[in-house]
Structure 1
């Protein structure tokens, strides 16, 4: 409930009060909060402190912690729904991104190419952040600190890589320098891929075979990136891994939605 924003918070308290057939004045007598404060909260004008909110909800025979977790649960479902949808967009946009990364080395590129390239990179980054944040929520739900931390690190590493791609397009980096640094990126962030894969594998009891297979694929991709030379194989392994990750998020969304 504490994370519920106004005016939804005020509307919820109003609905609870009316359900109990309690007037604002009666609520004031029960919780020792001024009638003006109650009016402003229900009108959505102010957000009460947690201590005040606890008192009001207790006066309405409504458990604060239960309400708080209910709101968190609803928000988690919404995030997971958004995560698998934007994950699907990220996967499709990634195919276009590969083509743009290839054509950036072509001579005599059209003037608009740099802006198309930049926009595509920003779309990739935005959708990926939401996509990976879905796994932060999965980690929170199953109390997996490793999954939460590795998902945040994945977001950070992707941010660095996409921003680097944009900067180098507008700088004097040679093609060889660009590809060399990209290879080093793969090696540097391979450990994060492996940690993410281990976290998914360890949750196979909760996620089923799809979690186990996805974890193994992610670990395999990370090991390929570590070798530098086999980095291109790691990229191919990430294709089915990403599809399975989208499936994991969708299944989590569908599971929690029905609970």
Structure 2
């Protein structure tokens, strides 16, 4: 346990017993200055000193361990809340840029525009911005997978990040070189569809405990994945993907609100998730 927290608890337990520092010193055979510094969080006491103090205060050592675990759980919950808030914001920016990116990609595919160096730099910057934002956005679902102990959500989030990175890099290289060096649109659509189906499945699995939002997100993700896998409906699948990502952003916001320190009711039991 961090020293300021330990000192704080010793101070609380001493006052609960109705003891002054001097009375505690007499019973523990410890220097009064030592007690003062421990309670002030200025020093880290030796284990036998802590044991002596706990015996006098009639505190079970397990209570000290539970307090430490409780503080660690609070810290983990705060970290998750920060991640969700950050990913929610980046998700909104990502979605806006992704829509612009999709429109440009469709135009490039249908119109076969002539090569332009100036546009190439803008196109590359847009693609890389989308990739970075997508990584931050999807990283939140990896974090949720950790919190919910959902291996499928963690694995599919990682696969989505890797696959999206490969696709975006392929798009950039394709524009500059003019050759599709990796997969082609059909193979890309099939792989993306499969990953999105698995990603959606993880939300449907969680919906048993988490409720309607997860059912909606899972259903939209499943519709998106199946559309990509049919290849024929890959273009409409882009519309489904946009709606799906909007639902993911809403889900992140809801989970952020539930984990926010300002919310007295948390969506997670700290013992269930972190201990």
The reply to whether TM is greater than 0.5 is yes
1:235 maps to: 238
Structure 2 residue 115 is matched with structure 1 residue 117: no
The answer to which of 13-22 and 77-86 deviates more is: 13-22
1:71 maps to: 75
Q: SS where residue 67 of structure 1 aligns?
A: helix
For 1:179 and 1:100, locate their aligned partners in 2 and report how far apart those are by CA, in whole Å.
Answer: 20
- Matched ranges for 1:86-125 at <5 A: 86-104=90-108, 106-108=112-114, 110-125=116-131
1:171 maps to: 177
For 1:190 and 1:243, locate their aligned partners in 2 and report how far apart those are by CA, in whole Å.
Answer: 18
- Alignment deviations for residues 14-56 of structure 1 (CA, whole Å, 9 cap, x no partner): 47547847416984543489xxxxxxxxxxxxxxxxxxxxxxx
1:102 Cα deviation after fit: 3.5
Provide the TM-score with structure 2 as the length reference: 0.71
- Matched ranges for 1:1-259 at <5 A: 13-14=3-4, 17=7, 20=11, 22-23=36-37, 27-31=43-47, 61=64, 63-104=67-108, 106-108=112-114, 110-173=116-179, 177=180, 181-257=184-260, 258=263, 259=266
| Structure 1 residues 240 and 178: alpha-carbon distance in aligned structure 2, compared to 1, 3 A threshold | farther
Provide the TM-score with structure 1 as the length reference: 0.75
Q: SS where residue 203 of structure 1 aligns?
A: helix
Q: SS where residue 244 of structure 2 aligns?
A: helix
For 1:217 and 1:178, locate their aligned partners in 2 and report how far apart those are by CA, in whole Å.
Answer: 31
Native 8 Å contact 1:147 1:196 kept in 2: yes
Q: SS where residue 112 of structure 1 aligns?
A: helix
Task: Tell me how large the CA RMSD over aligned residues is.
Answer: 2.9
- Alignment deviations for residues 132-168 of structure 1 (CA, whole Å, 9 cap, x no partner): 1111122222221111111111111111111111111
1:180 Cα deviation after fit: 7.1
For 2:148 and 2:195, locate their aligned partners in 1 and report how far apart those are by CA, in whole Å.
Answer: 20
Native 8 Å contact 1:190 1:225 kept in 2: yes
Q: Which runs of 5+ in 2 are unaligned?
A: 12-34, 50-60, 267-275
| Structure 1 residues 161 and 32: alpha-carbon distance in aligned structure 2, compared to 1, 3 A threshold | farther
Q: SS where residue 184 of structure 2 aligns?
A: helix
Native 8 Å contact 1:220 1:237 kept in 2: yes
1:206 Cα deviation after fit: 3.5
For 1:77 and 1:100, locate their aligned partners in 2 and report how far apart those are by CA, in whole Å.
Answer: 35
For 2:48 and 2:84, locate their aligned partners in 1 and report how far apart those are by CA, in whole Å.
Answer: 40
For 1:82 and 1:137, locate their aligned partners in 2 and report how far apart those are by CA, in whole Å.
Answer: 12
